[in-house]
Structure 1
Amino acid sequence: MAMRIAAKSAGPGEAEEEPGRAKRADFTDVRANNLGFVLRQVRAEGRCSRADLAAKTGLNKATVSSLVAELIERRVLRESGSVIGNIGRPAVLLSVDTGYYASLGVEVNVDYMTLVAVDLAGNRLLSWRRAHDGARSTPGKSVSALAGLAKRAVDRMDSEGRQILGLAVAVPGMIDNDGVVQRAPMLGWSDFDLTGRLRQAMRDPKYTVTADNDANLGAVAEQRFGSWAGVSNMIYLTGEIGLGAGLIVDGELRRGATGFAGEIGNLLIEVDGRVGRVEDFAGIRAVLDELSESDDIAGTEVEAEVEDIVTRARAEEPRVVAALDRIGRSLGAGIALAVDLLNPEAVVLGGHYQALSTWIGPAAETELAARTHASGAGGAEIVVSALGHEAPALGAATGILNDIDAGLMPTPLGR
């Protein structure tokens, strides 16, 4: 199945509504939303008392006490010390329980696999990256490699006494709402039931296994952990061999009707009299095709080739600097189309664009300003990801936390 990324959460006592029609709230809906609301307040404060929660949420003290009791029982919150108030007995402080659950996110790409595990507060418990020649591996071999990496992480978390909340996989391709990879041309996959095959390889685990596009999940990570965390309107560009975009609009990830939104690499642009796709003019494959000194690049060699191009750019090799300027202008032309359509506050360059940003960034900014209809590019800024290649895997793990923040609470094993 495709990964569920929680929509903007309701406030206290509010039930989520179905698009286009009101949904009648029942007690379960309201309580779930209130559980999520209290958790988000504690997360935002770091540590706070039950009285603080009542004051900040507007819920009465009895309701807050009941909600907190359930969150503690579910191992989502914990009591963590006390503080002496102005009057009466010391107030017991609450914080997010970071010692019990773990969420796993994995990315499979053309040249690597990344795994990230986080606790309920989003702290990284594991961060692994390994070379993987995805372009030359069969889907079955890639699933076996994914399962092996995930099993190692599950074993590590189990040894620490942690319960796995879920495993989510980021893939550079078009994934439908059932978790089937319809097309992942850079990996050579089509109509591949990734989640079904991965569940089978992992012997049908008790936790959920989901999948989503790498750009979508990169955007989720940037919105929660990146240098523009909390921004309501943002575009995240993958910067891998393929070029995709994750779209945050009005604070929510937008996947489109069937999960295929964000294919910015297929937009047509004109640069220096040439017309072509953004990906063909400004993707990392275009960088390698023009500037690599190797004739046949294996997936595991992509990062080393990009590093070599960076070294030559730092040495101010004229051909390299000129090519990166042209690629940056092409990228800016593609970004301008997206900015005119979506009016984001930030466009985040991820993946290999991070290493090349010194040379492609200024050219992209100049082209963006020249091509957008709104003055000053409508306020949009091109920024470099602080999360690097880890972003999609981190976003995969983070999406599970977003569901909990929305009120979909886990249950500890044995209860």
Structure 2
Amino acid sequence: MQTGPQPADFADVRATNLAVVLRHVRAHGPVSRAGIAAATGLNKATVSSLVADLIERRLLRETGLAENRIGRPATMLVLDGSAYAAIGIEVTGDHLTAVAVDLAGEQLLSWRRAFPGREAEPGRGVSAIAALAGRAAARAGTRGRQVLGLTVGVPGLVDEAGAVRSSAALGWSDVDLRGDLLKALRKPEYDVAVDNDANLAALAEQRYGGHDGARNLVYLAGETGLGAGLIVDGRLLRGGRGFTGEIGRIRLHGGTLEELAGIESLIQRALPDADAEGPVTDFAPEVERVAAAARAGDARALEALRDVGRHLGHGLSLLNHLLDPEVIVLGGYFVPLAEWLIPAAGTDGATVTTSAIGPGAAAVGGAARVLDALDAGVLPALAG
């Protein structure tokens, strides 16, 4: 019996090489076949065969542009975004965001819908998510796009099987969200996945956020919960059970970080009438009210922002000293309040910035997760 490492299957080697070429064109396109061969170490004949395969799969296309060079001009290659779509959905306590992007990164749709969150039973929430996902997939289909996958981002603890083990923001416990979505969507042909929202937002920042070369990045979600997505050495850090990044549960003097620096806490402290009509269920207008009050010099709002920023700084300091990231990105509702929060937090040597993607970063990250699978060699089948 043969033991030890086994030789790689030819199909596996080819899939790996197809992914190498695809990644190179995404990062450096437009690029020629010769340029790919020189950069990757693959021989020219192999590159030509791989490129032909990727063109047939409608993942690459020739632009017809010629690079400046001595001798015969070379045909340049770029990503072909026309055939496929990846869908991401972000779930928060007060809204859903759906995004679809193509392989080239072009946004095909961006929808925001009200969501009952913790006010509704999980079954009603699953139905709302499935309905939005189904409409997004149908819209992509009417544009001639094959949906490669759907990823849903949820605040809270999400296990590897796509079950939401705990979400305080939604009031959910042990909800088999992936399984329920597969049933509601009638076992679609595309892959369905569920992940933590901050994890997906970190993937979005890594792929689309303009942080070129940053292999260590922290995304701090400022939605109805407080979580962090952690990119370490270029990869998403997941931990033994997939429950990393729950920074809101860290206990500081006076309470947990979420209690001291979460958006709900900030609204209650900054606005004297925040609870006048019951619990806040739509946070965007309230956050805008806080920002308007701060711009007007309201003492209560400014004091609340300084206090929350200071507590936030304690959490950022912990992340900075533990992970030494190149950049810490504030997202969600922290973005419109960043001009007050960041100075109060202090950088402690770290680069702290706001998300360039803006609201719905986890939805964008859900789509990015699908496209990351292409980069890893999970390619759509050849037609016919």
State the TM-score, normalized to the length of structure 2.
Answer: 0.94
For residues 262 and 212 of structure 2, the distance between their equivalents in structure 1, rounded to whole angstroms, comes to 25
1:87-126 aligned at under 5 Å gives the runs 89-126=72-109
Q: What is the number of equivalent residue pairs in this alignment?
A: 379
The equivalent of 2:290 in structure 1 is 309
The equivalent of 1:5 in structure 2 is none
1:102-181 aligned at under 5 Å gives the runs 102-181=85-164
Which digits, 9 at most, give the CA deviation of each residue in 1:111-155, with x for residues without a partner? 110011000111111111122221212211111111111121111
The equivalent of 2:305 in structure 1 is 324
Q: Which amino acid aligns with 1:317?
A: D
Q: Which amino acid aligns with 2:261?
A: A
The equivalent of 2:324 in structure 1 is 343
Q: Structure 1: state its 5+ residue gaps.
A: 1-20, 370-376
Higher alpha-carbon deviation: 210-219 or 335-344 = 335-344
Q: SS where residue 324 of structure 1 aligns? A: helix
For residues 285 and 320 of structure 2, the distance between their equivalents in structure 1, rounded to whole angstroms, comes to 32
The equivalent of 1:286 in structure 2 is 265
Does the CA-based 8 Å contact 1:111-1:299 persist in structure 2?
Answer: no
The equivalent of 2:57 in structure 1 is 74
1:24 deviates by: 5.0
Question: Which of 369, 373, 376 is equivalent to 1:406?
Answer: 376
Does the CA-based 8 Å contact 1:133-1:298 persist in structure 2?
Answer: no
Identity %: 51
The equivalent of 1:14 in structure 2 is none
For residues 86 and 332 of structure 1, the distance between their equivalents in structure 2, rounded to whole angstroms, comes to 52
Alignment RMSD (CA, Å): 1.8
1:336 deviates by: 1.0
For residues 175 and 229 of structure 1, the distance between their equivalents in structure 2, rounded to whole angstroms, comes to 29
Does the CA-based 8 Å contact 2:268-2:274 persist in structure 1?
Answer: no
Does the CA-based 8 Å contact 1:247-1:253 persist in structure 2?
Answer: yes
1:30 deviates by: 2.1
Q: Which amino acid aligns with 2:178?
A: T
1:344 deviates by: 1.1
1:389 deviates by: 1.6
1:263 deviates by: 0.6
State the TM-score, normalized to the length of structure 1.
Answer: 0.87
Q: Which has the higher contact order (CA 8 A, sep 6+)?
A: 1
Does the CA-based 8 Å contact 1:179-1:212 persist in structure 2?
Answer: yes
Higher alpha-carbon deviation: 225-234 or 201-210 = 225-234
Which digits, 9 at most, give the CA deviation of each residue in 1:152-182, with x for residues without a partner? 1111111111100000000001000111110
Question: Which of 175, 182, 185 is equivalent to 2:165?
Answer: 182
Distance 1:257 1:314, change over 3 A: same
1:104 deviates by: 0.2
1:190-209 aligned at under 5 Å gives the runs 190-209=173-192
Q: Structure 2: state its 5+ residue gaps.
A: none
Question: Is the counterpart of residue 223 in structure 1 residue 202 in structure 2?
Answer: no
Q: Which amino acid aligns with 1:294?
A: A
Which digits, 9 at most, give the CA deviation of each residue in 1:295-349, with x for residues without a partner? 1455542111111111111111111111110110000011111212111111111
